[in-house]
Amino acid sequence: MSNRWIACDWGTSSLRVWAMDGAEVLDSAQSGRGMGTLTPGEFPEALAELLTPDWHGPVIACGMVGARQGWVEAPYASVPCSALPEGLTRAPGDRDVYIIPGVSQDSPADVMRGEETQVAGFLALNPGWDGILCLPGTHTKWVHVSAGEIVSFKTVMSGEVFALLTKQSVLRHSMKDDWDDETFAAAVADTLSRPERLISDLFALRAGDLLHNQPHARSRLSGLLIGAELAATRAYWLGQQVAVIGADALSRAYVAALGAQGAPATQAKGDAVTLAGLTAAWRRWKDPK
Amino acid sequence: MSNRWIACDWGTSSLRVWAMDGAEVLDSAQSGRGMGTLTPGEFPEALAELLTPDWHGPVIACGMVGARQGWVEAPYASVPCSALPEGLTRAPGDRDVYIIPGVSQDSPADVMRGEETQVAGFLALNPGWDGILCLPGTHTKWVHVSAGEIVSFKTVMSGEVFALLTKQSVLRHSMKDDWDDETFAAAVADTLSRPERLISDLFALRAGDLLHNQPHARSRLSGLLIGAELAATRAYWLGQQVAVIGADALSRAYVAALGAQGAPATQAKGDAVTLAGLTAAWRRWKDPK
């Protein structure tokens, strides 16, 4: 029986696919045709345009492709649950496309789609690991993992707020590419100790630039927001084993911020864990227990 | 000597003018040609298109028209200073256009342009008033006024953050026109007592809608942000006499939020105080001491 299959990570803003033979990557491709850019009818063609005739086997997909506004809604599994919940949803169409369920939490209300597959991949690569996984991004997830299950999680929109403020707000006029680690660290400490100041510290970035040519506004804004995030998630990371999974530069910023708070965190690559999670889902699809 | 003049409130997103005879309004006009939409060379024409031949006299202007990116930069006066600082800046061109200085604060760095004229107008209408003026808007100003002077002030970008989150972020999918006063009040209390939760409470608005069809997301978001603002400005309003100046609905929300914290605030109309401030500036221009 063939071990050929296609791994697919389909988020809001991008689509990535890998031609696989078991756990081996044969080829890969990507496009900007994320869920957010597509109507339901456009999904089959957006996928097909990335695949060549020598890509074989079923497609195992995770991410926003399974949202209500996606190709087909894949129901949520509810915590506590396996990071790789049972039951794939087949997308309508000729090709065999199976979508991994997202995970929801009833109270406090929260949802994830895609990150559960990264959690499953991290656990596949680190069997028996217990602790907190932090997955920074547009919507950063903090996930409490124990005995192979997702126990609880919390989403923080710090990445989206950072993007809106740096690109669309009045602060955009003061954003330069002059990153400074010390400014970042001081800002993290500022909002961690005085989180109530965040909302009034924002405009000071603009005024400090206008009046005093104050540099490093981007580093300070990033630090203020990550400090606020750490203040909001203290119950998650304090005294816990923490691993940060994501893009390299952003992950390093989180590891540095946590380390300064006496919370040493390890770092794992986002791509590797996504692929490991999709591979675990494919194995179970191929050989259900 | 003629008492004819033209009052002008020229902000980032709009331009408003009044034909005046002393303190009497003869006519008015407005357009969307705010400073943010204009290059420096376009200011004379944007003003001229609103004036008819029977509008006479000098133009007294306040607001972002005097910013570095405006018609001509009007230097800041520095606190502590009169709400109506000495010295108007004449704009280049054939028409007599005089711009009122903005006000700056060295530390913590802060700036205002336009609100100082509203403060001056409020003081002209309420001579001898001491206390805190709150001017809600895109960039809300909290101004400590004593003995006719601006002593200190603080800008909070809560209005701009609210606009970005409701219009551009993932939360926009959950914003409906179902305002609810109780939800607003509870949210104000939430971030006032636990400001560190703000950044993680945001995504819960989306998840609560997705999972539980939770209503009133807009009211709750507004309350969370105004609660955060009140937490950041507590040193300003606690135990002080407070007046809120601005658009009616937004001002009422601030008055309600402050009232629930045992800080009764009065409300004043933004238009009236702007015109009173411009009139005070015109009087001094006409009859310098």
SS3 (DSSP) at B13: coil
Three-state SS across chain A? CCCEEEEEEECCCCEEEEEEECCEEEEEEEECCCHHHCCHHHHHHHHHCCCCCCCCCCEEEECHHHCCCCCCCCCCEECCEECCCCCCEECCCCCCEEECCCEEECCCCEEECCHHHHHHHHHHHCCCCCEEEEECCCCEEEEEEECCEEEEEEEECHHHHHHHHHHCCHHHHHCCCCCCHHHHHHHHHHHHHCHHHHHHHHHHHHHHHHHHCCCCHHHHHHHHHHHHHHHHCHHHHCCCCEEEEECHHHHHHHHHHHHHCCCCEEEEEHHHHHHHHHHHHHHHHHCCC
Q: Is the ipTM of this complex over 0.90?
A: yes
Of B109, B200, B225, the CB nearest to A208: B109
For residue B242, the model assigns a pLDDT of 97
Contact status, residue A9 vs residue A274, Cβ threshold 8 Å: yes
Nearest CA-CA distance, residue A56 and chain B, Å: 35
- Report how far residue A107's alpha carbon sits from residue A85's, in angstroms, rounded to the nearest whole number: 19
CATH number at A4-127+270-286: 3.30.420.300
For residue A85, the model assigns a pLDDT of 87
Sheet of strand A24-31, all strands in order from the earlier edge strand to the far edge: A24-31, A15-21, A4-10, A59-62, A97-99, A89-90
Average of per-residue pLDDT across A179-201: 96
| CB contact A235 to B (< 8 Å) | no
Pairwise CB contact (< 8 Å): A203 & B157 = yes
Nearest CA-CA distance, residue A110 and chain B, Å: 5
Pairwise CB contact (< 8 Å): A229 & B200 = yes
| CB contact B202 to A (< 8 Å) | yes
> What residues 73-112 of chain A have any CB closer than 8 A to a CB of chain B?
76, 104-106, 108-111
- Dmax over CA atoms of chain A, in Å, equals 70
Mean predicted lDDT score pLDDT of chain A: 96
For residue A219, the model assigns a pLDDT of 97
- Report how far residue A47's alpha carbon sits from residue A40's, in angstroms, rounded to the nearest whole number: 12
DSSP state of B129: -
- Report how far residue A95's alpha carbon sits from residue A34's, in angstroms, rounded to the nearest whole number: 19
Q: Same topology for domains A4-127+270-286 and A156-269, yes or no? A: yes
- Domain extent listing, chain A: 4-127+270-286, 156-269
Average of per-residue pLDDT across B124-135: 96
DSSP state of B17: E
The set of residues, in sequence order, having a beta carbon less than 8 Å from that of A28 and lying 6+ positions away, is: A16, A17, A18, A19
Preferred mutation among A78, A161, A199, A236 to probe B, highest tally of B CBs within 10 A: A199
| CB contact B193 to A (< 8 Å) | no
For residue B288, the model assigns a pLDDT of 85
SS3 (DSSP) at B59: strand
Pairwise CB contact (< 8 Å): B211 & A170 = no
Query: How big is the A-B interface in CB pairs under 8 Å?
Result: 138
Over the stretch A72-88, which tens digit does the pLDDT of each residue have? 999 999 999 999 988 99
| CB contact B198 to A (< 8 Å) | yes
pLDDT above 70 for A190: yes
For residue B1, the model assigns a pLDDT of 64
Residue given tokens 């001229």 in the structure block: B48
Assigned architecture for domain A156-269 = 2-Layer Sandwich (3.30)
Over the stretch B41-68, which tens digit does the pLDDT of each residue have? 999 999 999 999 999 999 999 999 999 9
pLDDT above 70 for A22: yes
Sheet of strand A140-146, all strands in order from the earlier edge strand to the far edge: A81-82, A149-156, A140-146, A131-135, A242-246, A265-269
Pairwise CB contact (< 8 Å): A195 & B200 = no
Over the stretch B263-286, which tens digit does the pLDDT of each residue have? 999 999 989 999 999 999 999 999
SS3 (DSSP) at B156: strand
Planar angle of CA B30, B54, B20, nearest 5 degrees:
60
Residue given tokens 């400073």 in the structure block: B35
Nearest CA-CA distance, residue B50 and chain A, Å: 27
**Residue B121: how many CA atoms within 13 Å on its side-chain side?**
26
Contact status, residue A66 vs residue A100, Cβ threshold 8 Å: yes
User: In terms of DSSP bridges, do strands A59-62 and A97-99 run parallel, antiparallel, or are they unpaired?
Assistant: parallel
Of B105, B208, B228, the CB nearest to A199: B228
Mean predicted lDDT score pLDDT of chain B: 96
Over the stretch A194-218, which tens digit does the pLDDT of each residue have? 999 999 999 999 999 999 999 999 9
Q: Which residue, among B1, B93, B113, B84, has the nearest Cα to B47 in the 3D structure?
A: B93
Q: Where are the alpha helices (DSSP H) in chain B?
A: 43-48, 115-125, 158-167, 181-193, 198-212, 217-232, 234-237, 248-260, 270-286
Pairwise CB contact (< 8 Å): A196 & B195 = yes
Contacts of A232 in chain B (CB under 8 A): 196-200
For residue B64, the model assigns a pLDDT of 96
Assigned architecture for domain B4-143+270-286 = 2-Layer Sandwich (3.30)
For B158, nearest residue in chain A (alpha carbons):
A199
pLDDT above 90 for A40: no
Dihedral sign from CA coordinates of B172, B173, B174, B178: positive
Pairwise CB contact (< 8 Å): A160 & B154 = no
CA distance readout (Å), A156 to A142, A264, B188: 8, 20, 19
Dihedral sign from CA coordinates of B116, B261, A226, B216: negative
pLDDT above 80 for A153: yes
Contacts of A105 in chain B (CB under 8 A): 207
Contacts of B76 in chain A (CB under 8 A): 211
Nearest CA-CA distance, residue B56 and chain A, Å: 35
| CB contact B189 to A (< 8 Å) | no
Nearest CA-CA distance, residue A22 and chain B, Å: 36
- Report how far residue A157's alpha carbon sits from residue B89's, in angstroms, rounded to the nearest whole number: 44
For residue A289, the model assigns a pLDDT of 72
Over the stretch B89-129, which tens digit does the pLDDT of each residue have? 999 999 999 999 999 999 999 999 999 999 999 999 999 99
SS3 (DSSP) at B272: helix
Pairwise CB contact (< 8 Å): A195 & B195 = yes
Nearest CA-CA distance, residue B63 and chain A, Å: 16
The set of residues, in sequence order, having a beta carbon less than 8 Å from that of A174 and lying 6+ positions away, is: A205, A206, A208, A209, A210, A217
Contact status, residue B144 vs residue B236, Cβ threshold 8 Å: yes
Pairwise CB contact (< 8 Å): B199 & A157 = yes
Preferred mutation among B192, B196, B221 to probe A, highest tally of A CBs within 10 A: B196
pLDDT above 80 for A1: no
Over the stretch B203-253, which tens digit does the pLDDT of each residue have? 999 999 999 999 999 999 999 999 999 999 999 999 999 999 999 999 999
Over the stretch A253-272, which tens digit does the pLDDT of each residue have? 999 999 999 999 999 999 99
Nearest CA-CA distance, residue B26 and chain A, Å: 35
Pairwise CB contact (< 8 Å): B196 & A232 = yes
Average of per-residue pLDDT across B33-38: 94
Q: Which residue, among A62, A91, A75, A103, has the nearest Cα to A274 in the 3D structure?
A: A62
